[in-house]
């Protein structure tokens, strides 16, 4: 009898321990899982904080991992053929990013785009040597 009561108390205390997760935590976990499984369309915007300029945007089904040891984002995207490609976004003290879930928007299910800000490119002149 003691064992049954002890088992019941252990079960009830375990139930209370796991029910401590807030609804927001569960929703956040589920949204991250959906994105990592390429079910949501995300948009990454990379910003130069010194100038306030958008360096580029990337939109599509993607899984994003912040690699703090290398100071970069590792982005795996799924294209319209169901194939995967990996991109790296280098971060610095003056470059930051924003990730938005835009699944509800009017976007293609599989297509992803990468848009660079042309004003951010530094012009390069080359000399022709004869």
Q: What pLDDT is stored for residue 39 in this prediction? A: 85
pLDDT in tens, 6-57: 444 445 455 555 555 677 777 777 778 888 888 888 999 999 888 888 888 9
Q: What pLDDT is stored for residue 7 in this prediction? A: 47
How many residues are listed for the chain in this entry? Answer: 130
Q: Please state whether beta strands 53-67 and 113-116 pair in parallel, antiparallel, or not at all (unpaired).
A: antiparallel
CA angle 114, 118, 121 (to 5 degrees): 105
d(CA 36, CA 113): 18
Q: What pLDDT is stored for residue 87 in this prediction? A: 93
Dmax over Cα atoms in the chain, in whole Å?
Answer: 98
85 three-state secondary structure: strand
pLDDT in tens, 54-92: 888 999 999 999 999 999 999 999 888 989 999 999 999
What the block records as the tokens of 61 is: 């089904």
pLDDT in tens, 89-117: 999 988 888 888 888 655 555 666 666 66
Integer-rounded Cα Rg, in Å, for the chain is 23
């Amino acid at each position: 009898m003691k064992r049954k009561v002890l088992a019941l108390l252990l079960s009830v205390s375990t139930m209370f321990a796991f029910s401590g997760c807030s609804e927001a935590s569960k929703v956040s976990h589920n949204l991250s899982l959906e994105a990592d499984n390429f079910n949501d369309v995300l948009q990454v915007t990379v910003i130069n904080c010194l100038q306030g300029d958008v360096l580029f945007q990337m939109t599509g089904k993607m899984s994003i991992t912040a690699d703090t040891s290398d100071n970069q984002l590792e982005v795996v995207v799924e294209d319209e053929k169901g194939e995967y490609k990996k991109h790296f976004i280098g971060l610095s003290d003056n470059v930051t990013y924003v990730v938005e879930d835009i699944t509800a928007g009017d976007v293609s299910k599989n297509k992803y785009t990468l848009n660079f800000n042309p004003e951010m490119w530094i012009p390069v002149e080359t000399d022709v040597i004869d």
